[in-house]
Amino acid sequence: MKYILMSLFVAGSFFAARAQEASQYCNERFSFCISYPAGFIQEEEAANGDGKVIMAKDGKAEIRTFGSLAVTEGDPLKQTFKLATSDLKLAYKVFKKDAFIISGTDKAGNVVYRKTVIKTIDYMGTGNTPVLQTLMITYSATQQALYAPYCAEIAKSL
């Protein structure tokens, strides 16, 4: 199965030192791979194989990456955008025909940065199927300087 390779070559003081030690997670079900800093720890993949949570060792940041079938009636990307932004105080948003990027704060005051794209893949051998692929990082607002470079890499990914 072909993988849509998205590289997250992290920058910044924390990530630059670990760039050569990057780990990788590939999601076979939704045909994507991500690189993430070796200082993060993978949790178990979801039972249905749709994605994974990857936590910073200090527990102050988490990366969520997942896919879903784009089978809802109407525009699945617009519906996903509406759901993704419903509980955020948005600071930044970009919406295109095949992707959106958002940044804002959640109710706990954490920064949320997310990119979701809609793509057509050969889903589990069934032929061309539209899917949504998402990469998101959530972290404490006090760590903005540390994770801002990673957010810039997310914007270039998928």
CATH of residue 21's domain is 3.40.1000.10
b (16+ CB within 10 A) / e for 118-128 = bbebebeeeee
Count the domains in the chain: 1
Query: For 88-96, which contacts have Cβ atoms below 8 Å and span 24 or more sequence positions?
Result: 88/112
Within 44-117, residue ranges assigned H as helices are 76-85
When pLDDT is averaged across residues 100-122 and rounded to a whole number, the result is 97
Strands 61-69 and 40-42: unpaired
Cα separation, 73 vs 85, in Å, equals 19
pLDDT band at residue 7, thresholds of 50, 70 and 90?
A: very low
The pLDDT of residue 20 is above 90: no
Q: Which pLDDT belongs to residue 21?
A: 63
Mean pLDDT of 35-44: 87
User: Residue 19 above 80 pLDDT?
Assistant: no
Main-chain dihedrals φ then ψ at residue 12, nearest 5 degrees: 90, 165
Per-residue pLDDT at 12 exceeds 50: no
Range of the domain at 75: 4-156
CA 48 remoteness from chain centre: 18
Residue 145 CB contacts under 8 Å (≥ 6 apart), including other chains:
12
Residue pointed to by tokens 């509406």: 82
End-to-end CA distance of the chain: 17
Q: Check pLDDT > 70 for residue 59.
A: yes
* Per-residue confidence (pLDDT) for residue 73, from 0 to 100: 84
pTM listed for this prediction: 0.84
Strand partners, 5: 33
Is residue 44 scored above 90 in pLDDT? yes
